Structure 1
Amino acid sequence: MKKFTNESMYEIIDYMEEKLKIDDLLSIEVLNPDLGINNYAGEIVDLDEEYTYHSYKAWNDLAELMFCKLLTPLKVSEYTVNLKFKKINRSDSFHKTINSSDNEKYGEESIFFRINKNEEPAFLYYYKQALANVKIQTRNSVLNLGINKADEFQTIKDGLDEDEFLKKDFVGIDFCPSAIEFAKNRFPTNNFSFFTHDINKLDELNLKKFDLIISIGTLQSSSLNFKEAFMSLIQNYLDENGSIILGFPNCRWIDTEIIYGAKAPNYSFSEQSILYKDVYFCKKYLQQKKFRVTLTGKNYLFLTATSIKK
């Protein structure tokens, strides 16, 4: 176990990158972050010797950047702790296992189905904020595209009293049969309708217009023409005074970990040009259509738009 005292983060990263090329588990001894909670990163804490301060957040950020899980710290001495970094299995990802022609690629037996975004603070916090921005209490009809197991509806339910919730009409659409069956069993009341259907062919469902449309990580699917699908939603399915919440993934799910940063084709690292291009297109289009647009989030960027035509 290597001990770091007054070394810089540059030196620490260099060391970890080299060690993780050959080892799956790496241990280092560092200053106990609890002893410097009033310090900024890089400040010197003078105890039995000089230590460069880094918070637990900094170490957790480093673990993510190194594609590692940070294990429970163990106390080594009066001033230091042992941090263990366990390398994640980068081949264990639904992104690599899905078959684009398979209707069950996001189904009940898939890795994706195990993911519960509602238990990830970096998702839930900003999604709740988006629901508040569109004044979910005032929205009576909600369409969710790419519903999967209906986690987004669960958050709405958690934030409303039962009478409010039952007065709203919810429609969820997904091309995955097992996901839709799960969603139907999860929300069996009469104010819910679920359809196993291709989003490219929404016109076949003869849907009405909605005063809130939600789509989290679906419109960027390779099977959709993003711009056409987005404009069609606004023109054909959103009420004149309605709102929309779009979630743009800025992360990857690898070996049960959520890793920050969108991954573009042909890049071995996070490259976010396509993400921001899509976000900017939607923002500009909606502003031209007289919507107030906000952009929040981290691992998912939430574009929230509310009509200001009145």
Structure 2
Amino acid sequence: MKRFTNESMIEIIDYLKEYLKDKENRFICEFEVLNPDYSFDAYSGEKFNIAGVEYIYRSYNSWNSLAQILFCKPLTPKFISDELVKLSFMKLNINNTFHNSTIEQNEKYGVNSIFDNINKNEEASFLNYYLNALKNVDISSKKRVLNLGINNGDEFEVIKQISKDYKQTKFVGVDFCESAINIAKKNLPESNFSFFIEDINNLDKLNLGRFDLIISIGTLQSTTINFKTFFMSLVQDYLEDKGAIILGFPNCRWIDTQMIYGAKAPNYSYSELSILFNDVIFCKKYLQQKKYRVTITGKDYIFLTATSIKKELV
């Protein structure tokens, strides 16, 4: 079994990439390293001499990040001694993703699809920043909330858990996937929740009126939507004068059960963020012109949160 002692991270990455490249999916790669619990005060890169052997210290965070970079899932470490642990990386099947689904387009995100197995609310790096965004817009004060691309209602479920009195708020969700909307209706049967099956390009058909909060996570970047034009019309036609917006831009991919950091762009074999940043900055500048305070947060999902400052400017 390979043991890494004082090799640089460059050497480790090169070694593991070469070792894994021809291995089958779900292959488990095992190797020994200095126990990340060997020191609670060390930074990654610090060196320790143990029984005449030099080791470079790295934290579990560092090793878990490496697993993602290699498209692997880190498995439970096994202790060899006080000084050493065995790490195991399972190679993911990069083709096992809803992004490659051949299901009919309007059910690509529906019941029995790969996407249906995903629960973003159980991913801390999504939930933490979504909760911060909801706090930022003072969700308990909102009376009409619109979510575009609501799918099975998970994002409303979070609001239901944290809002002081969610029953006083009218929630409207729109999605083009019928089976997902049916699940949302089942999960959120209260009379203040309404769900519509519709392509959001045809939003005007629904005559929904205006809202004091609009949420859309991972939807507006669809290739079927003219993003900038649609976003501007959304603000102009559906947002109350002093309303708020939460937009979530995916900066990850779901591969073989794992949320892997980094947006995938066409014609690139690696994560490339130009399109994501272009869309985020466009929205920020447009909303600032409309007198909104805009914050950008997040990691695997980039959250743009906008709140009106028109009162402050009066």
TM-score bracket, shorter-length normalisation: over 0.9
Deviations 1:213-241 (A, max 9, x none): 00001000011110111111100000001
Q: Residue 39 of structure 2: which of 36, 39, 44 is its match?
A: 36
1:249 corresponds in structure 2 to: 250
Q: Residue 127 of structure 1: which of 130, 133, 139 is its match?
A: 130
Q: Secondary structure at the match of 2:303?
A: strand
CA contact (8 A) 1:36 1:45 kept: no
Q: TM-score, normalised to structure 2's length?
A: 0.96
Unaligned runs of 5+ in 2: none
How far did 1:46 drift?
Answer: 2.5
How far did 1:47 drift?
Answer: 2.5
Deviations 1:246-275 (A, max 9, x none): 000000000000111111111111111000
CA contact (8 A) 1:149 1:180 kept: yes
CA contact (8 A) 1:33 1:54 kept: yes
Q: How large is the RMSD of aligned CA atoms in angstroms?
A: 1.0
2:190 corresponds in structure 1 to: 189
Q: Residue 71 of structure 1: which of 53, 75, 82 is its match?
A: 75
2:3 corresponds in structure 1 to: 3
Unaligned runs of 5+ in 1: none
Q: Residue 99 of structure 2: which of 95, 102, 125 is its match?
A: 95
Q: Residue 149 of structure 1: which of 145, 148, 152 is its match?
A: 152
Deviations 1:146-186 (A, max 9, x none): 0001111011111124xx11111000000000011000011
How far did 1:98 drift?
Answer: 4.5
| Structure 1 moving runs of 4+ over 6 Å | none
2:12 corresponds in structure 1 to: 12
How many residue pairs align between the two structures? 307
Q: TM-score, normalised to structure 1's length?
A: 0.97
CA contact (8 A) 2:147 2:172 kept: yes
Alignment of 1:1-310 (within 5 A): 1-23=1-23, 24-48=27-51, 49-98=53-102, 102-161=105-164, 164-310=165-311
In structure 1, what is the Cα distance between the partners aligned to 2:267 and 2:118? Answer: 26
AA of the residue aligned to 1:114: N
AA of the residue aligned to 1:199: I
Deviations 1:192-213 (A, max 9, x none): 1100011011111111100000
Change (3 A) 1:98 1:228: farther
CA contact (8 A) 2:38 2:82 kept: no
